[in-house]
């Protein structure tokens, strides 16, 4: 008989199977039956035997299965299936009586559901990872239920999800944590005394993960103007980095511009908040909230293009204008943008906050400020140095989230939109949109600053395969 072990959190449990002929087993999968009335798909996870062995879950003839994604305070019906070398999978039915969850924030278990997901609604994702500044990431389903959280970190704003783990950068130290969905936590420091902490987001890179970090050199702070690529293995390595102050200073000076008038160490002049890798031309695209979006060659750091509001201070420098994309008439320039991504049809997508610059020199133009936020996509033509605003989602220009926030598209072109500071910085608003941009769900949570949900991403807890 399977023996449920003591859970490490209400959303995580361990099921021990004994005895098991491990020589005949290739893996284990489990499915957690949804609550009656749930519109979200069931949590479904598949582990290879190699992945379970690597995590220490094999011992003699005993096999332990970490089961996460449980409903707290509920008797969960869980179907495990042992995948065998030959023959049909061997099913094992387990009941896991998960204890209640006491949310220390008092926020995530009490959503104000403004629009509830309805039966038959078409949506390409069912689970959401909220990057919280109040503790560890929180996984919600599209019914508004908390389905996972674990102790160990105090701030997960700088984080991403990979495999069966969250990769988290410490906001106060140059430390990287790996928090697995089974609740295990490991950490390691960056191999450099130059970087001081993580800020903003982490995203997949070419050789590892891209992250925005703060740095210090010769007693001068380099605030939010460095992007690194790091690998999180047995020890943290940094195969590449981009110092935007150095890159822009060298480029501007080569044109005869006064780079020191734009690049101002010790001041938040750049404010990097998102960086992504574009494999189509081996490049890195970086969001500077204060100025523009900039595309760099991955290997050399050479500037490919710059895209932003031409009424801002940066556009007064001839060198930067020379690399500027021209937006087709009628489009929205990116202003105060966050959360860069490349859509399945090759468009650059971002959350277009709409707030002008906050850290320009005295008398310099802060550019336009809008009264609403948008999700914007762009088709970039580098041969003509133009950008076309392919489409915007503006929510009828009724929602303004001036800082933080995110929007991400999944394979069927459904959207998850996170308005981090809606309603004059009082609420975080999570919205699910179908491929036609109809609202499928809308959840509201109180927030102070961006801490409740500074960024949120879809995660495939309904089809999670862990093979390594």
- Distance (Å) of CA 101 to CA 35, 152, 162, 455: 16, 16, 25, 23
For domain 3-98, the CATH superfamily is Arylsulphate sulphotransferase monomer, N-terminal domain (2.60.40.3100)
**CA-wise closest residue to 47 among 180, 149, 185, 202:** 180
Q: Which two tokens stand for residue 403?
A: 């800082």
Coil, helix or strand at residue 135: coil
Residue range 128-157, pLDDT digits in tens = 999 999 999 999 999 999 999 999 999 999
SS3 53: helix
**Could you give the 3-state DSSP secondary structure of residue 251?**
helix
Question: Length of the chain in residues, anyone?
Answer: 468
CA-closest candidate to residue 184, choices 158, 202, 163: 163
pLDDT band at 2 (very low <50, low <70, confident <90, very high): very low
Tokens representing 394? 């503006």
CA separation for the pair 168, 356 (Å, rounded)? 29
CA dihedral 463, 465, 466, 468 (to 10 degrees): -160
Tens-digit pLDDT profile for residues 54-68: 999 998 888 999 999
Residue 313 DSSP symbol: G
- Residue 388 CB contacts under 8 Å (≥ 6 apart), including other chains: 327, 328, 331, 378, 379, 381
| Tens-digit pLDDT profile for residues 36-50 | 999 999 999 999 999
Nearest Cα to Cα of residue 247 among 315, 188, 308, 320: 320
- Answer yes or no: same fold for 3-98 and 112-459: no
Q: What is the pLDDT of residue 1?
A: 36
Report residue 167 as tokens.
């990769």
Contact between 289 and 273 under an 8 Å Cβ cutoff? The reply is: yes
Max distance between CA atoms of the chain, in angstroms, equals: 77
Residue 7's pLDDT band (boundaries 50, 70, 90)? low
Taking 90 as the threshold, does the pLDDT of residue 256 lie above it? yes
Q: What is the pLDDT of residues 310-335, one digit of tens each?
A: 999 999 999 999 999 999 999 999 99
Domain ranges of the chain: 3-98, 112-459
**Residues 152-211: pLDDT tens digits?**
999 999 999 999 999 999 999 999 999 999 999 999 999 988 999 999 999 999 999 999
Average pLDDT, the chain: 95
DSSP 8-state class, residue 182: T
Alpha helices in 240-388 (DSSP H): 244-254, 318-321
> What confidence tens digit (pLDDT) does each residue in 90-114 have?
889 999 999 999 999 999 999 999 9
Euclidean distance between CA atoms 338 and 379, whole angstroms: 17
pLDDT value of position 3: 42
Of 205, 139, 123, nearest to 416 by C-alpha is: 123
> Helix H segments across 147-291?
244-254
Phi/psi of residue 245, nearest 5 degrees: -65, -45
Instruction: Please give the CATH number for the structural domain made up of 112-459.
Output: 2.130.10.10
pLDDT at residue 74 tops 90: yes
pLDDT in tens, 352-404: 999 999 999 999 999 999 999 999 999 999 999 999 999 999 999 999 999 99
Let me know how many helices (H) and strands (E) the chain has, helices first. 4, 35
What is the band of 8 on the pLDDT scale with cuts at 50, 70, 90?
confident
Distance, CA of 391 to CA of 375 (rounded, Å) = 8
- pLDDT over threshold 90, residue 18: no
Which two three-digit tokens encode residue 331?
A: 């489009």
């Amino acid at each position: 008989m399977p023996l449920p072990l003591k859970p490490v959190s209400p959303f995580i449990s361990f099921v021990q199977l004994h005895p098991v002929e491990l020589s005949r087993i290739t893996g284990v999968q489990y499915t957690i039956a949804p609550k009656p009335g749930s519109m979200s798909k069931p949590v479904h996870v598949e582990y290879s035997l190699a992945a379970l062995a690597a995590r220490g879950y094999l011992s003699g003839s005993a096999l332990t299965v970490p089961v996460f994604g449980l409903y707290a305070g509920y008797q969960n019906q869980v179907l495990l299936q042992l995948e065998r070398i030959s023959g049909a999978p061997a099913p094992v039915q387990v009941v896991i009586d998960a204890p209640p969850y006491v949310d220390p924030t008092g926020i995530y278990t009490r959503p104000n559901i403004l629009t509830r997901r309805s039966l038959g609604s078409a949506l390409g994702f069912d689970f959401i990872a909220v990057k919280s500044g109040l503790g560890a990431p929180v996984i919600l389903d599209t019914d508004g239920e908390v389905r996972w959280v674990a102790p160990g970190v105090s701030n997960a704003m700088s984080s991403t999800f990979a495999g069966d783990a969250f990769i988290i950068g410490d906001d106060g130290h140059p430390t990287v944590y790996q928090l697995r969905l089974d609740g295990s936590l490991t950490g390691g420091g960056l191999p450099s005394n130059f970087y001081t902490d993580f800020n903003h987001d982490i995203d997949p890179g070419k050789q590892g993960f891209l992250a925005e970090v703060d740095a210090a050199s010769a007693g001068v702070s380099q605030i939010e103007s460095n992007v690194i690529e790091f690998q999180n293995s047995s020890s943290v390595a940094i195969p590449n980095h981009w110092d935007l102050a150095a890159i822009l200073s060298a480029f501007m000076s080569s044109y005869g511009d006064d780079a020191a008038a734009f690049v101002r160490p010790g001041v938040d002049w750049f404010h990097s908040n998102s960086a992504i890798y574009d494999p189509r031309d081996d490049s890195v695209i970086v969001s500077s909230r204060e100025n523009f979006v900039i595309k760099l060659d991955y290997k050399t750091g050479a500037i490919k293009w710059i895209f932003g509001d031409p009424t801002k201070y940066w556009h007064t420098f001839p060198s930067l204008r020379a690399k500027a994309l021209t937006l087709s008439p009628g489009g929205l320039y990116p202003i105060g943008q966050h959360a860069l991504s490349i859509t399945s049809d090759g468009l650059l997508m971002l959350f277009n906050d709409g707030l002008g610059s906050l850290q320009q020199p005295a008398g310099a133009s802060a550019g336009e400020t809008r009264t609403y936020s948008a999700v914007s996509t762009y088709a970039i033509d580098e041969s003509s140095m133009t950008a076309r605003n392919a489409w915007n989602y503006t929510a009828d220009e009724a929602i303004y989230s001036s800082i933080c926030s995110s929007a991400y598209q999944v394979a069927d072109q459904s959207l998850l939109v996170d308005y981090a500071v809606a309603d004059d910085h009082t609420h975080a608003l999570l919205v699910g949109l179908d491929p036609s941009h109809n609202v499928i769900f809308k959840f509201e949570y109180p927030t102070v600053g961006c801490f409740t949900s500074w960024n949120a991403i879809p995660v495939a807890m309904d089809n999670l395969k862990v093979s390594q």
